[in-house]
Amino acid sequence: MQSLVQPEVESGVILVRSSDEIATNIRSYILAKNGDELVGFCALHIHAASLAEIRSLIVKESYRSQGVGANLISKALDEARFFNIQKVLTLTYRQSFFEKLGFVEIPKESIPEHKIWADCIKCKHFPICNEVSLIKTI
């Protein structure tokens, strides 16, 4: 997983997650595979009974624009529905991708404060963030 995400971490598109952090939260991850090859993943992180977040979405470059990312998001939303979560949040540089999937932009000020201090503070772009916050009601 780390080798797949490393280029995006280095460019600042995805937050760095230690191997220990990934291992601790491994049940949050949804994997996309082609045979034995890992071609993408994302995580559904539950913040509260009514709010979850899609994070760490990555698709191997040679598999992009083939529906892998949309399928990962669909699976994450299915899981959120299973847990009766009403809203799913994401922070992204790929706004149009998420808008095509029914997400709508929201002000960053509406993001739960614990999200900012737990994750955003680790970002190399903090506090000057160009990511867009979007949400989908399900």
pLDDT digits (tens, 9 = 90+) for 86-102: 999 998 989 999 999 99
Alpha-carbon dihedral of residues 66, 72, 75, 76, nearest 10 degrees?
-150
Q: What average pLDDT score do residues 133-137 get?
A: 95
Exposure pattern of 104-135 as b/e (b: 16+ CB <10 Å)?
eeeeeeebeeebbeebbeebeeeeeeebbbbb
Find, among 80, 69, 67, the residue nearest to 136 by Cα.
80
pTM: 0.82
pLDDT (0 to 100) of residue 25: 74
β-pair type (51-59, 87-92): parallel
Structure tokens at 66: 């083939």
Distance CA 79, CA 38 (A): 20
Query: For 27-83, what is each residue's pLDDT tens digit?
Result: 898 999 999 999 999 999 998 899 999 998 999 999 999 999 999 999 999 999 999
Q: What local confidence, expressed as pLDDT, does residue 39 receive?
A: 97
What's the distance, CA 131 to chain centroid? 12
pLDDT at res. 121 = 59
Q: Give dist(CA 55, CA 28) in Å, integer.
A: 10
